[in-house]
Amino acid sequence: MPRMTPDTLLHHFDTGQPWAARLSTRPGYGLDTAYADALAVRALRVARGERPLGYKVGFTNRGIWPVYNVYAPIWGSVYDSTVVFCDGEGRLDLSHTCEPRIEPEAVFGFRSAPAAEASIGDLFDALDWVAPGFEIVQSHLAGWKFEAPDTVADGGLHARLLVGRRMPVREIAADAAGLDAALAGAGVVLARDGQALDRGTGAAVLDGPVQALWHFVQAQRACPGAPALRAGDIVTTGTWTDAWPVAPGQTWHGAFDAPLSPLSLRLE
């Protein structure tokens, strides 16, 4: 296949056109090259005026690893052009997405940058809030057939993110262990147009969203060229259920257990 450059990758994001073939079929195209391409696309998006708001972490749910043939977490950037905040009910536009699917997740906000070599306790100290979220993920490879490097170059499969009601973490727990236990023990029922389709728990994502976040902080810091985490960054930590195909006109509801709140989404 012709070489896929950061410019052509961005063109596929903008237009929703599928890729002709997997990048991972190219000799030597591994995760390091894929992250370099993803960061180059990020730089192009910044140059044209988009503002990174943080990150998404994917494939933290071990239960779906065999389904998608990806056996370790990956991450990508999210932007002011792809993220919407709401207080429990929101809308997202699916235009120019490619085979979109929905994932119910826990989203964190940072009040400060976590310390180098942060412990889980340090991580808690850096956090501001946690919220329910719906990420719309996408694949520019037909049928969601890919290898891990393809998913990284494909923006971490990120398309859109709806962030629901934000809860200060110190209103949930006094320390990291308490927050970890509260979120790992929470569940969600995912429904489309009033029909329950799936259910999951926070423990599905690397044993809990706090654990998934801690994994990301370490992995992101170790990635050559990755920007440092900043105060105000958000991170969504992976799906509690399988990812379900979506279409305009649908209404989705996530009945999250406390300490998270319910979240509804209308797709356009």
pLDDT tens per residue, range 77-90:
999 999 999 999 99
Question: Is the peptide bond preceding residue 132 cis, with omega within 30 degrees of 0?
Answer: no
Element (H, E) at 7: helix 6-15
The pairing of beta strand 101-110 with beta strand 127-137: antiparallel
Q: What are the tens digits of pLDDT across the range 6-20?
A: 999 999 999 999 999
Cα–Cα distances (Å) from 147 to 32, 70, 72, in that order, read 14, 6, 11
One-character DSSP codes across 33-76: HHHHHHHHHHHHHHHTT--EEEEEEE--BGGGHHHHT--S-EEE
Q: Which residue has the tokens 């933290």?
A: 60
**In what helix (H) or strand (E) does residue 212 lie, and over which residues does it extend?**
helix 209-222
Q: Which pTM value belongs to this model?
A: 0.97
Whole-number average pLDDT of the chain: 96
Per residue in 224-256, pLDDT (tens digit) is 999 999 999 999 999 999 999 999 999 999 999
Query: Cβ distance 107 to 128 under 8 Å?
Result: no
Tens of pLDDT, residue by residue over 140-188, are 999 999 999 999 999 999 999 999 999 999 999 999 999 999 999 999 9
Q: In sequence order, what are the residues at sequence separation of 6 or more whose Cβ sits closer than 8 angstroms to the Cβ of residue 58? A: 73, 74, 75, 76, 137, 151, 156, 157, 158, 238
